[in-house]
A and B are shown apart, each in its own frame.
Chain A
Amino acid sequence: AQTVTQSQPEMSVQEAETVTLSCTYDTSESDYYLFWYKQPPSRQMILVIRQEAYKQQNATENRFSVNFQKAAKSFSLKISDSQLGDAAMYFCAYGSSNTGKLIFGQGTTLQVKP
């Protein structure tokens, strides 16, 4: 069975600084996807970034980028130039190409200090 682990329950960052959220996963599948979702206080889940496992190049979306280390089964999220609106709970998720199901990590609450 696949598992996703986020070892940082809480993180904080100063506005305009950079922060990295950690995520590791375990799987025996060769074809899968990885995601970071953001859940602000409204509780709406928002897709931040997506990475296909077969792609070596790390995904980027504006201020958000990932460091995907397939051999180490690591998938960290870097947020550059942090903004107050980035404050939220961040979930790392593993997506099975087989079933389409997502397996979520425990989440990391990010606080952004002005």
Chain B
Amino acid sequence: GAVVSQHPSWVICKSGTSVKIECRSLDFQATTMFWYRQFPKQSLMLMATSNEGSKATYEQGVEKDKFLINHASLTLSTLTVTSAHPEDSSFYICSASHVASGRPLTQYFGPGTRLLVL
């Protein structure tokens, strides 16, 4: 149980285009999904938290207009990198968790998406 998928796993795009990454919880309903960014050999940096049906909460320093997050259902969240530039090239990871009795539970992670902007 607790499987999270991400699509695509690899994407190469031209500078100035937009890229959408999907994150799905396959066998549970995710009340909360998180988006992280990770540079090689570094830790995960939280970008934003999204709750189903409400606006995402962005971490300090993360541009909300550049990284659009939508959490349309309890099993799907999307991250759109708008007008991508080479400095947006990175590894993006989503995670999903659900709440029981008012307590957030363990986060389960997707396999990640490697984005390369040329």
Q: Is the CB of A45 within 8 A of B109?
A: yes
Contact partners of B41 in chain A: CB under 8 A: 89, 107, 109
- CB A24 to nearest CB in B, in angstroms, measures 15
Q: Which residues of B contact A33 (CB under 8 A)?
A: 106
Q: State in angstroms the CA–CA spacing of A43 and B94 once bound together.
A: 12
Say if the beta carbon of B46 comes within 8 Å of chain A.
yes
A99 contact set on B, CB distance < 8 A: 49, 104
Question: Which secondary structure dominates chain A's binding surface?
Answer: strand
Chain B, range 90-106, C-beta contacts under 8 Å to A = 91, 93, 95, 97, 99, 103-104, 106
Contact with A along B8-32 (1 / 0, CB 8 A): 0000000000000000000000001
* A101 close to B49 (CB less than 8 A): yes
Known: A45-B95, A50-B106, A106-B43. A101 touches B34 (CB 8 A): yes
A44 near B111 with CB under 8 A, answer: yes
Main SS of chain B's interface residues?
Answer: strand
Q: Is A100 touching B112 in the complex (CB atoms < 8 A)?
A: no
The 8 Å CB contact of A42, one of B42, B106, B111, is: B111
Residue contact A44 to B107, C-beta cutoff 8 Å: no
- Residues of chain A contacted by B99 (CB below 8 angstroms): 100
**Chain A: interface residue count, which band?**
20 to 34
Query: Are B108 and A91 closer than 8 Å at their CB atoms?
Result: no
Chain B positions within 8 Å of A, measured between CB atoms, are: 32, 34, 38, 41-44, 46, 49, 91, 93, 95, 97, 99, 103-104, 106-109, 111-112
Task: List chain A positions with a Cβ less than 8 A from chain B.
Answer: 33, 35, 37, 42-47, 50, 89, 91, 95, 97, 99-107, 109
